[in-house]
Structure 1
Amino acid sequence: MKVSEGYMPYLGNKTYYRTVGECQEGKKPLILIHGGPGSAHNYFELLDDYREDGRMIVMYDQIGCGNSAVANRPDLWHARTWVDELIALRNHLELDEVHLLGQSWGGMLVIAYLCDDQPKGVSSAIFSSTLPSALLWKQEQRRMIKFMTEQEQAIIQETEVTGAYDNPAYLAVNAKYMALHAADAISDESPEPLRRPKGSGAEAYLTAWGPNEYSPTGTLKDFNYVDRLSQIEIPVLLTSGTDDLSTPLINKTMVDRLPKARWELFAHSRHMPFLDEKERYKRILLDWLNQHD
């Protein structure tokens, strides 16, 4: 397996990237854009075997996290920083013709890129468990919180009043919420890429999003492209799970407005169907890419 790693200069810092495999004739690279903001590329290494399709897989750590971690730069943590980084990476690696897969926040980044920059050379996009509106996301998270026990809801409400987000009782409730709708807590049984230590992106997440998934208070709190989705004319595949933070309502909102969209709902998945239902996700995604090369 051919794996290449490197760094791209960006805003006086450096952006880490990793490529797997090579493109055969007629196949276009797939760029994987991770969530957060402030997560890292690590979980995308679970998709390394997609190279068997004969295409290059490109992943990177967005500035502010992982191998691209930067401390004490709250001025950087807004959407434009990360959109411009994607543009710079495409130029740096000479990725003229590509497919883009954005997961969670990464999908928001792709939506903003497609609407605001109208880039050339994007054959298709995959919106993986993402959102077009921070307000809609908040609305849906608050709805799902109502299915938790009254005591758990009270702990969340009290924490939001006090701001004591390091309270062990709150941390336990939030961890339960994330296990229900995002992914299991990391353990010794987790795949190695998930267990691997990574540079913290906490500052980027807190500044751009907020203290948790259901409280968008940062620079992305007004993110709203619902009424602009009709501008995205390339084919778009939406993927999400029935128990996902990215709820069926959120995905229905997108698919109804995208001119060329297909939606695959994964019955046994949360926020990462490519992990919870790996083989089905792989089959669907590779079929999609081959149809739109």
Structure 2
Amino acid sequence: MKITEGYMPFMGYQTYYRIVGECTGNKKPLLLLHGGPGSTHNYFELLDELAEDGRAIISYDQLGCGNSYLDGHPELWCSETWDNELMALRKHLGLTELHLLGQSWGGMLAIEYLCDYKPDGIKSVILSSTLPSSQLWAHEQHRLISFMSREDQDAIARAEESGNFDDPDYLAANDRFMLLHCAGAVTEDAPECLRRPKKSGKEAYLYGWGPNEFTPSGSLANWEYREKIGNIQEPALIINGTNDLCTPLVAKTMYDAIPNSRWELFDGCRHMCFAEDTKKYCALLREWMAQHD
């Protein structure tokens, strides 16, 4: 399968992108927006098989991470930077019509883009394990924490109260929380794209979101789109897992508000449904995009 890699000049820096396959017939490309802020495109390589159908699958490392790594610029880590990068990449690659998939923070980016910029040419949007409100997200994470051991709950509460997120008890508790609701440990049997060393954007995450999933304190701390998502006109596929950081309440909040939406709940999956049930995820995306090309 053909793979094309390149860099787009952006704000005096560079944004890495990766294109798998080519579009044939009426099949529109799929553009993938990764999570974080500050994760990388790597895990999306699990979706390369979607290109076998004659559809280009495009991913990129958002400024601040991976092959687009940058730090020492906390002022850049706000949604405006990443909104502008997304619009520049569409223009750079000539993506006049496409499907848009955002996972976690990437879904927030997709929501903001659709609601505030009202772009043309979006055939559908896939909102995967994402959120319409930072405060709703924090509320649900604290509800999930309430099911943990008293020791872990106390360690997390102390860290939030003191602002000391380096405490070993807190770090261990947060690791256990993420193991329950985000992803399992990466083993030697895991796909190469998950095992590959990556340059995470820790500064982008801290200044964009916060120190962990349940304490939004960065530029996105008051990000609130529950009232706006009702204006999304594009067909929307909402995906989450039963054990996900994106709880069923968060997913249902989006499903109830977005008029032309469908909700698929993945049994037993955590925050990366596409990694924990890749076969089902790819089959769902194939059906969905064929329906909305």
Taking structure 1 as the reference length, the TM-score comes to: 0.98
Deviation at 1:158, TM superposition (A): 1.4
Task: Choose 81-90 or 195-204, whichever is displaced more.
Answer: 195-204
Residue in 2 aligned with 1:66?
Answer: 66
Listed one character per residue, the Cα deviations across residues 168-213 of structure 1 (whole Å, up to 9, x for unaligned) are 2221111111111010133333221112122230000000100000
SS in 1 for 2:284: helix
* 5+ residue gaps, structure 1: none
Matched, 1:204 2:204: yes
Describe the superposition over 1:45-96 as per-residue Cα deviations: whole angstroms up to 9, x where unpaired: 1111111121000000000001001110111000011011000000000011
| Alignment partner, residue 214 of structure 1 | 214
Aligned residue for 1:118? 118
Cα distance in 1 for residues equivalent to 2:10 and 2:165: 32
**Structure 1 residue 164, shift from structure 2 partner:** 2.6
Q: Report the counterpart of residue 151 of structure 1 in structure 2.
A: 151
Which residue of structure 1 aligns with residue 175 of structure 2? 175
Secondary structure of the corresponding residue to residue 183 of structure 1: coil
Partner of 1:166: 166
Give a deviation string over 1:94-145, Cα, whole Å, max 9, x none: 0110000000000000000000000001000000000000000000000010
Deviation at 1:259, TM superposition (A): 1.0
Residue 8 of structure 1 is matched in structure 2 by 8
Name the counterpart of 2:44: 44
Helix, strand or coil for the counterpart of 1:289?
Answer: helix
1:190-269 equivalences under 5 Å are 190-269=190-269
Matched-pair contact (CA < 8 Å) for 1:208–1:218: yes
Aligned counterparts of 1:47 and 1:89: Cα–Cα separation in 2: 20
Deviates more, 1:161-170 or 1:242-251: 161-170
Structure 2: which 5+ residue stretches go unaligned? none
Q: Secondary structure at the match of 1:215?
A: coil
In 1, Cα distance between the equivalents of 2:200 and 2:35?
13
The equivalences for 1:2-151 within 5 A come to 2-151=2-151
Q: In the aligned structure 2, how far is the partner of 1:251 from the partner of 1:6?
A: 34
Give me the CA root mean square deviation: 0.9
User: How far apart are 1:278 and its partner, in Å?
Assistant: 1.2
How many percent of aligned residue pairs carry the same amino acid?
Answer: 56
CA contact (8 A) 1:268 1:277 kept: no
Work out the CA distance in 2 between the residues paired with 1:109 and 1:10: 17
* Alpha-carbon contact 2:160-2:215 (below 8 Å) kept: no
Q: Contact between 1:226 and 1:254, CA under 8 Å: does it hold in 2?
A: yes
Give the partner amino acid of 1:177.
Answer: F
- The amino acid that maps onto 2:163 is G
